[in-house]
Amino acid sequence: MSAQLTFRDVTLGYDRHPAVHHLSGEVAAGALVAVVGPNGAGKSTLFRGIVGILKPLAGVIGLGDLNPRDIAYLPQTADIDRSFPISVYDFVGTGLWRRRGIFGGLGKDEQLRIREALAAVGLSGFENRPIGTLSGGQMQRMLFARVLLQDARVIVLDEPFNAIDAKTSADLVALVRRWHSEKRTVLAALHDMDLVRANFPETLLLARSKVAWGKTSEVLTAENLLAARHMCEAFDDGAAPCVDTPSQAA
């Protein structure tokens, strides 16, 4: 399969301090990829680079023929302001903004799509609930419903199964499998190695730098996991800032 995303010596970080160092590799169109690593390994930083929130300090993230509308992003629930006064229905409807515009009206077709997305994740009847009243599992289901509406070619999921019950996790994993069967490209940052081994054929093991990338069975070895932990512990956050060099998204 042809490459959907390419990373050419990419360094990403904040205030010119790198959090992901010199990453090179590619994600094939239609791939199902787990991104794993210790806390602080740079997984969320990498995803923010892919979706364009964060500009590389150096190197290039190649997007091929993708445009922003082709990439759907599910952030960590900690990044969602649960106190914001918005209903589940309206929140999920924001998944249509990129195609309809923020002030675009919702016709009958769009309203039906929102209700179908809610039904697909088991949230029928929750339309008028404020998002702040949802449990952790219900919150994740709502975020998945919004991704469903975006109908994207590339789907980036940051900790999609963290701190949710087993039933919700199983339901949402089934949705990820459905996206994979539809030849969408899916990347997910994960901690549960058993879940990764059972469902993700390809894995990137990250510890600020690439430890290993390839078939999951070959990446998630005891030796590689130990090396990842040691690499994260070895990084000095007080190191000199990364040199700012020209970069671009292709």
Q: What secondary structure, in 3-state letters, does the chain show?
A: CCEEEEEEEEEEEECCEEEEEEEEEEEECCCEEEEECCCCCCHHHHHHHHCCCCCCCEEEEECCCCCHHHEEEECCHHHCCCCCCCEHHHHHHHHHHHHHCCCCCCCHHHHHHHHHHHHHCCCCCCCCCEHHHCCHHHHHHHHHHHHHHHCCCEEEEECCCCCCCHHHHHHHHHHHHHHHHCCCEEEEECCCHHHHHHHCCEEEEEECEEEEEEEHHHHCCHHHHHHHHHHHHHCCCCCCCCCCCCCEEC
Which candidate, 107, 193, 188, places its Cα nearest to that of 147?
Answer: 188
Cα 110 to Cα 99, 113, 117, 146, distances in angstroms: 11, 5, 11, 12
Tell me the pairing of strands 17-28 and 3-14: antiparallel
Q: What is the pLDDT of residue 240?
A: 40
pLDDT per residue as tens digits for the range 55-103: 999 999 999 999 888 999 999 988 899 899 999 999 999 998 766 655 5
Q: What is the pLDDT of residue 101?
A: 55
* CATH number 3.40.50.300 given to 1-66+154-166+185-250: yes
Q: What is the pLDDT of residue 48?
A: 96
Which candidate, 211, 149, 184, places its Cα nearest to that of 30?
Answer: 184
On the question of pLDDT at 153 being above 90, the answer is yes
Q: What is the pLDDT of residue 17?
A: 86
State how far the Cα of 65 lies from the Cα of 60, in Å rounded to an integer. Answer: 15
The contacts of residue 58 (CB under 8 Å, 6+ apart) are 9, 10, 11, 242, 243, 244, 245, 247
In the numeric block, which tokens belong to residue 8?
């050419």
Q: What is the pLDDT of residue 68?
A: 81
Instruction: Tell me the average pLDDT of the chain.
Output: 90
Domain ranges (residues) in the chain:
1-66+154-166+185-250
